[in-house]
Amino acid sequence: MKSFSSSSFAGQHAEVLDLAQAAVRRNPQALFTDFQWFLYQGQDTVFFTAFSTNSFDQDGLGNLVAEMVALAPQLTHGFEGARPGHPFPKHMLDAITSVELVDELDGYPDKWLGKSTDIFDAPDLPLFRVMAAVRRGGPDAAGRTSVIQVRSSHALLEGSDSALLTRSQSASHGTMSDQSNKVGWRSRLKGVLRGGFTAVLYMAIANIMAPAEKPWGFRTLALRRHRLRLLANKLGVRQRSLLFALVTHALNGEGEDKTMSKKVIGAAYTMLDTRRNDADDDFFRVRALEAKFAVLEDFVDYVRAVDDTVAAIEQKDITKFQVMMLAMFGALRAINRVLPFLPGKRFWRFNGGIHVVLTLVPPHRTYGPMTHGVVEPIYCGAWHPATNIVTFCPGREYVTLNFSMEQRHLANVEKVMALLEQVERREVSPRKVMADA
């Protein structure tokens, strides 16, 4: 069967939509790229949440969702009975939205955060939910009347989509690969071979060595951007290096009581890359990179080492790793077609030695009708089975840190603020200031 890009249909000709609908009738995920399929199978989820000066009722929330779907038509994909590119009927909008009245907004958004696997419980409903909590007494002392949250399968939304929707801009993907920028056949062949081998090896090891499911938790923090900018300039490092170092150093702990590693923290981090090629995924804009941060007790030495590591990684050609990863997703999908019981449930609980995933999403700056009334800080994050994730979400005034991780690490989240305050007070030797990429 012809492979369709899930982002190529909404808003196009009727005959193309008919082809898409015929494909999803046979298989609801037929339009997904291999990367989307991988995230769907793992039941990866993402969330966006923020406070608002507006009040919401069921109809108002339904209208908001209809606007969101018009800007992000990929939200009409992936479920039984889906009609790609078409608006949802009212009964479906009612089924995926909810409004509750609360006495106070204290404790949000943390009290709402979770794995969101309930999104996948009803196969005939869209793969996202929108909810609002409205304060009974109207605005509180901070002027907040409500809090709103969007939860979605990660197969449908990524951080750049959330940033675009926050600005009331179209998040329709089009085709993300650049067919005019060819990856050499040798590099592509090596990537495909490595990806296929990695898929088989990873699947075998995962089903033998995957740990038991562990207690999980979610936390958020909000930091002033100006505060981080001053400290990054003081230390002579990139702001994202400072963020990466703050959370990994704090979460790892001190002395002999390290919770991640005593020697090297294995990390993966994501970035957007405008230098697309014909081997890129046709849906996702994001690219993943691997990093190893040598553990150093002194934070100033550590953050500067992290900054050097990030600089070295980004000067290299990251295409090879991307080609290999996408080939691995394709190999897993092909295996699953023949042997539907693979890769198996244990596969998703094996993280391959990665201690933490660090995701810096594009700036979320409110503009237009989609986020009218929304106030900072803005929170967004992700859940992937057995993967500790920290998502950094910058706005105009704040950067939020959104933690999804094992409970044993959450106890160290408070150390992030203590470490920040400690370094702010410290006198440090000067270093050449690096410009943010």
**pLDDT above 80 (res 181):** no
The band of 285, judged by pLDDT with boundaries at 50, 70 and 90, is confident
**pLDDT above 50 (res 92):** yes
- Please report the pLDDT score of residue 13 as a whole number: 44
Token readout for 283 is 């849906």
- Please report the pLDDT score of residue 248 as a whole number: 97
Token readout for 161 is 């989509």
Lowest mean pLDDT among 141-145, 187-191, 219-223, 287-291: 187-191
End-to-end CA distance of the chain: give it in Å, rounded.
Answer: 42
Residue with the bigger pLDDT between 48 and 349: it is 48
The band of 189, judged by pLDDT with boundaries at 50, 70 and 90, is confident
Token readout for 255 is 């002395």
**pLDDT above 70 (res 185):** no
**pLDDT above 80 (res 71):** yes
**pLDDT above 80 (res 275):** no
Q: Calculate ∠ Cα 263-269-273, nearest 5°.
A: 145
Side by side, the strands of the sheet bearing 356-360 are 216-224, 398-406, 389-394, 356-360, 264-272, 286-294
Average pLDDT (73-95) is 93
Q: Give SS3 for 233.
A: helix
Mean pLDDT taken over the chain:
88
- Please report the pLDDT score of residue 17 as a whole number: 59
Q: Per DSSP, what are the bridge partners of residue 51?
A: 147, 375
Average pLDDT (288-311) is 94
**CB-based burial label for 220 (10 Å; 0-12, 13-18, 19+):** buried
- Please report the pLDDT score of residue 177 as a whole number: 56
The band of 273, judged by pLDDT with boundaries at 50, 70 and 90, is low
Residue indicated by tokens 């495909």:
192
Give the C-alpha separation, 307 to 434, whole Å.
9
Residue 250, Cα to own-chain centre: how many angstroms? 21
Residue with the bigger pLDDT between 436 and 159: it is 159
Q: Give SS3 for 135.
A: strand
Domains of the chain and CATH, by start: 14-20+27-166 (3.30.559.10), 211-318+346-425 (3.30.559.30)
Average pLDDT (124-145) is 97
Token readout for 330 is 């394709």
Q: Kindly report, residue by residue over 345-387, the tens digit of the pLDDT.
A: 999 988 888 999 999 999 999 999 999 999 999 999 999 998 9
Average pLDDT (272-298) is 82
Side by side, the strands of the sheet bearing 374-383 are 97-102, 128-135, 146-153, 45-52, 374-383
- Please report the pLDDT score of residue 10 as a whole number: 41
The band of 269, judged by pLDDT with boundaries at 50, 70 and 90, is confident
Give the C-alpha separation, 269 to 275, whole Å.
18
- Please report the pLDDT score of residue 3 as a whole number: 30
What percent of the chain has pLDDT above 70? 87
Residue with the bigger pLDDT between 10 and 141: it is 141
Average pLDDT (219-225) is 97
**pLDDT above 80 (res 95):** yes
Average pLDDT (306-317) is 87
Residue indicated by tokens 């081997």:
279
Lowest mean pLDDT among 13-27, 118-132, 229-243, 324-338: 13-27
